[in-house]
Chains A and B, each alone.
Chain A
Amino acid sequence: MSSNPNLPQVLRADKAFIAKLKTIPKGFAHYITFESFVDEVAFSEGESFTVLPDEFNYLNDEDIVRITPNKEHIRVLYRKKATNNTIMITEQCNHYCLMCSQPPKNQDDSYLLSEAFNLIKLIPKNTKEIGFSGGEPTLFGERFLELLEFTKSHLPQTGIHILSNGRAFKDIRFAKRYANINHFDMMVGIPIYSSNPSIHDYIVQSAGALDETLAGVLNLKRLNQKVEIRVVIHKQSIEGLLDLCEFIGRNLLFVDHVALMGLEMMGFTRANLDSLWIDPYEYKDILSDAVSILNSYKLTTSVYNHQLCTVNKDILPFYRKSISDWKNEFAPECDGCKSANDCGGFFSSSLQHRYSDHIKAL
């Protein structure tokens, strides 16, 4: 979509215009407006338009949305201003993680992959990075690799970040095919929750998972591919967190990034809240030690999805404002906080369901 009324006619034919004023430029394929503007905007005959709820008011130039023909469903697929745009290409998964934010569905959803191909064509060429996630994107096998190649061709300057459990890469042929895409900036983010296979396998609800994931990580690094280890911190992973950090330092020193992440209150997390929830404030010293260990091993380390008032000061060099900007919200306790600008804030799901009891204005 476009918000540019001066866009040359020739470029208007395949774009939707975001109409918020009375006079609207002619010649766009479609028009989008919002409930509170709908009375002001004067559409001409023959112009097709969609009225969206005001909560979509943030949509802006070069954003991409998907609206079903009956206009019952709308999904925002790409936001120009977001620092990371992630495309979900499947809801199927061979894990069943206790804290999955996107509970897997075991049904054919290859239409999502087809959509992704279409979407890639629409994304602006100067986009810095896009992500692919699932479910488990590698379950599509060869088709997934084709999507990566396609993306490389259409968005040659765009970095690619893939969220995967890494198990598919245990097959060295698959890993080689992946490496042969030869992308200048492509990284796989792979979750590891414990150095103890039983705990990891329990958290992802799949026996033998850690062993295969590690084999995948090793294959990727053998082929000089970028790998990020992602650790979600919760009640099941906190106890072994320091052991895990030492394990990474001793065994996986060659990974490119380690992310220690707070829990998102989506999907299964809410169902399993009792066995997952631990107040970040309670584990802040462990988090400091974890970062200190990783940093000692000179691993590039980031802390994601935490609020500044729940972490110790020594975390600050590693603290990232990671929560996507349109999800970035604050709690009532944050009123008057001078650090809000530097703080990642909350997932709206956290504000709704559960967040630290120790949130306070700094």
Chain B
Amino acid sequence: MSKFKGLESYAAEDSAYELLPFKFDRFNDESYIITNIVGEYLLIEHEDLEALVHRKLDVTSRLYCQLRSKHFIRLPKEKSPIELLALKLRTKLSRLSQFTNLHIFVVTLRCDHSCPYCQVSRQSEDKSSFDMTRDMADKSLDFVFRSPSPAIKIEFQGGEPLLNFELIKYIVESAESRNRVAARDLAFVIATTLSLINDEILDFCKLHKIQISTSLDGPEALHNSNRPKPNKDSHQRFVAGLEKARARLGYDQISALMTTTELSLDKVKEIIDEYLRLGFKGVFLRPLSPYGFAIKTKRFMAYNTERWLQFYKSGLDYIIELNRNGVEFSEYYSSLILKKILSAQESGYVDLMSPAGIGIAAIVFNYDGKVYASDESRMLAEMGDRTFELGNILSDSYEDIILSDKLLDALEESFTLSAPMCSECAFEPYCGSEPVYHHAIHKDFLGRKPESEFCKKNMSIFKHLISLMESSSDTKKLFLGWANR
């Protein structure tokens, strides 16, 4: 008679389990996906789902083990599943207590480019009526330092913000002097095409540790046709500027974003190769957003979500292949989603937040003194939809703006946990509410989800990423790395 008891003695009571909150949806023709409140997932057969709910699971099966360790079920006595779920949920929600940390200053609307899909810019380089004034900048900084967030990021946008570099200098220096008392974790970013970068600007960036966020749409021909300039030298100036900026500020201080136009759709490999060639570690495959000129010029409608998804998926395939061949490279939109799927962390990406990231994660001070809930909100306003215009920095107080009904209504209505369909969607933990997008298309904050392209796009991506991981352990490993960067 052994002194040791068999496994069955420790599993005896197991069929008396209790369900923990979870949601499910059809994943594909064969299987269902179940997700718990912190986004852990499992793919299971329909009969297993029924068995799970009706207490008919085989307690010795691997599925049963997984359900327990991923916190879909617990034994009634167990306390740690509750504690761990609460802990993870708190980590995920912690950004709410951080409040606004991204403050976008649109220092000018003027631009040296005339991109057809651009939401917000004016070609005229000399009209100072499109510039933010020092008075507005001061008032905006008052606002910035009212934010309770311990970390403050100030991003300069345009137009081409470097066309109003004097004001950038003024804002950076004023913010730094205020911060000597406020003592926040203060950071600056300039979003620029790099076409106007020069030594004076770089010296200033170096001195004040300003990062550069720039735009690269692909190889020369594509980039130049997406981003027309009178001399057709956008790409050339980009490459020169990039080299200069990297040499002066450090290789990792410059990041790039791309925008997908109709011309990009069959060139995803070339686009990625261009990012590789120029030494970037990853690419953000971004669809055109339905704002501003993008809609006016019909560019947005020139391709549908389905076509964009094809573009995205073949790009992702290529990137996975690159990694398989030993080239480290990632896709950033996937990384943001994978962080939500595979870790207890939140990415803090404005588009994928619930309640919406507007106002909370970011706020925009426009060149004309208007304050918007997000970058997309001001683009919407440029089209005439002023739903997300929160006030005017010259005349309204911090409280007026941050507690404005417009913001609170949008936030409340966009809370996915209470939205029709979203509230019971298994992908809800990975998704966001994007009220600005839905207002642009559907004229309400939520949109009708079965018709929403936002919903379609994200659901497809969630499913695609999960399918890739489930079908290859190498891909799963790669994705784990992306999720935790």
Contacts and interface: CB of A to CB of B under 8 A. Distances in A.
A141 interface: no
Interface string A244-286: 1001011101000000000000000000100000000000000
A210 B10 CA distance: 11
Interface residues of B, number: 33
Contacts of A98: 4
A117 to B, nearest CB: 32
B66 A297 contact: no
B5 A210 contact: no
A127 interface: no
Nearest to A239: B62
Per DSSP, chain A at the interface is: helix
A252 B483 CA distance: 16
Given A251-B344, A296-B477, A297-B484, A202 B79 contact: no
Interface in B44-82: 65-66, 68-70, 75, 77-80
A157 interface: no
B77 A211 contact: yes
Contact of B80 (A218, A297, A298): A218
A247 B69 contact: yes
Contacts of A289: 473, 477
A234 B414 CA distance: 50
Given A202-B10, A243-B65, A298-B484, A215 B83 contact: yes
Nearest to A221: B87
A201 B8 CA distance: 11
From A214, A218, A296, residue with most partner B Cβ within 10 Å: A296
A195 B68 CA distance: 8
Interface residues of A, number: 33
B87 A218 contact: yes
B92 to A, nearest CB: 12
Contacts of A215: 79-80, 83
B14 interface: yes
Contacts of A210: 80
Interface string A190-216: 000011111101100101101100110
Contacts of B78: 197, 211
Nearest to B480: A296
A243 B10 contact: no
Interface string A69-105: 0000000000000000000000000001010000000
A98 B88 CA distance: 32
A300 interface: no
Contacts of A199: 7, 10, 65
Contacts of B10: 198-199, 201-202, 207
A215 B9 CA distance: 23
Contacts of B6: 202
Shortest Cβ-Cβ A-B pairs, 3 listed: A195-B69, A214-B80, A296-B480
7 contacts: A199-B65, A214-B80, A214-B83, A215-B80, A244-B69, A296-B477, A296-B481
Given A215-B83, A243-B65, 8 more contacts: A197-B75, A198-B10, A199-B10, A201-B10, A214-B80, A247-B69, A250-B40, A296-B480
Interface of A: 96, 98, 194-199, 201-202, 205, 207-208, 210-211, 214-215, 218, 240, 243-244, 247, 249-251, 253, 272, 289, 292-293, 296-298
